[in-house]
Amino acid sequence: MAKSSPTIALIPGEISWEIWTQGATGLQLAPQDATPAQRPSEIEKLPAGDLILFFPAKALTALPLQVHTADASLFPDLAATHSERLGLRPDPFAGQLVDIFPILVNSEKSTLLSIVLRTPQTEDLPKKSPKAFDISPRAFPIKGNALTLWRELGSWVFALHQQGKLLYCQATSISSPSPDAALIREIRIAIAQLSMQGIEAAPAKAIVWSSDPETQTILLSQSLSLQTDLAARPAPILPDPLSKLLPADVRAARRAARKRQNIIAVSAAIVFLFLGTIGYLGYQLWQTHSLTEKLIARSNAAAPEGEAYALHISKWDELQNGIDLNQNTVDILSRVARSIPPNSGLRLRTADISANEIRLIGEAPQPQAVNQFSKNLAQNNDLATFTWQTPEPKQSTRGWEFTFSASTVTVTP
């Protein structure tokens, strides 16, 4: 019987990448190099075995959603529609960059977590080709409903778990020693955004994983009214099953494309050489005719490569709305939410947002709250690229209803 290869997990740690090897009791941390690796490509030597790469939270976008079906065959199309509506469209030439994890499935309503991986660059992948891929938040499961926080490659990451399953995760740029007000604000915004989708994220406790026993959790506990525990980050566990993410295809495709480009360049050089020879040795013209025809046919066969590259660039440009924060629909929604007058009772029933248009439908107990909201939107510097149409609110049995719309300002050159 053939002996199975040991499993090697490459996981982002607090400061640098960590190598974990499969032992008798699970994954065990391997001795680290003297020089910490900030990118997987910087790791010179990996142990022998089947390598599993866990992408850091900053390399992905988590998109929870609710769908009114339990048919798993429809989940991919529904998740793709949801991500495209938010301006995220993975590069179709970059391999399998999307995976879906069911959280709760029933006939009336199912909750899913869609993961969209950003196209990895060469330095984001180890020199040794991984056998499988996953994401780091799935390596640290938690029982029940909980909020977990830990530092990953120097910055804080948080995750929300529902019934022991990963519901949402987000990387931040916050690198403070302990959870601070900025991190807490990010958590509140994430919970509010989930609530607006009808997904209730109600953690019963919070857990802060840190190797520093002096990490402060009082502010987090008081701000979110959660029992907060401080502990060392547990040893990772291999998810079962592993994700379907497979960006290795893009590396192979790029290498093949470079090889084809080299072949075309060599062919062009050969053509130039033969044409020069024909000009110098006119009497050999008849010998080169057949070769020229073959080279022209090869050039025509290579033409679709140029079209594929142009399509690749076009698809990448379509991702601009998800990459640029000024056009990110979630970020725009956050700016709109900050314009709502506090303690006014004003709420939004519908918020249709794209990179270029906004349509808000809501209600408030008093018309003054609607008028103040209108002024705040017009004066919000973070929404300066939009021109607002804010007609007077209409009174209804529930208060004062309003419908506001906006579109981006067109600058005439």
Q: What is the DSSP string of 180-213?
A: -HHHHHHHHHHHHHHHHTT-----SEEEEE-S-T
Q: What is the mean pLDDT of residues 248-264?
A: 66
Q: Under a CB-based contact definition with an 8 Å cutoff, are residues 225 and 129 in contact?
A: no
Q: Is 217 helix (H, G, I), strand (E, B) or coil?
A: coil
Residue 323 above 70 pLDDT? no
Burial profile 64-80: b = 16 or more Cβ within 10 angstroms, e = fewer: bbbbeeeeeeebeebbb
Report DSSP state, residue 177: S
Share of the chain above pLDDT 90, in %: 59
Q: Three-class SS of residue 260? A: helix
Q: Which of 374, 368, 400 is nearest to 388 (CA)?
A: 374
Collect all residues with Cβ–Cβ distance below 8 Å to 140 and sequence separation of at least 6.
Answer: 148, 150, 209, 233, 234, 236, 237
- pLDDT exceeds 70 at position 196: yes
DSSP for 338-405, written as a single string: HTSPTTS--EEEEEEE-SSEEEEEEEESSHHHHHHHHHHHHH-GGGTTEEEE-PPPEEETTEEEEEEE
The pTM (predicted TM-score) of the whole model is 0.61
- Burial class, 271, CB count within 10 angstroms (exposed 0-12 / middle 13-18 / buried 19+): middle
Q: Which of 70-74, 131-135, 139-143, 329-333 has the lowest mean pLDDT?
A: 329-333
Q: Could you tell me the pLDDT band of residue 259, with boundaries at 50, 70 and 90?
A: confident
The answer, yes or no, to whether residue 218 has pLDDT greater than 70, is yes
- Three-state DSSP class for residue 130: coil
> Per-residue pLDDT for 326 more than 50?
yes
Write the single-letter amino acid at 93. F
In tens, the pLDDT along 71-97 reads 999 999 999 999 999 888 888 788 899
Interval 150-175 mean pLDDT: 97
Confidence of residue 256 (pLDDT cuts 50, 70, 90): low
246: which DSSP letter?
B
Q: What is the mean pLDDT of the chain?
A: 87
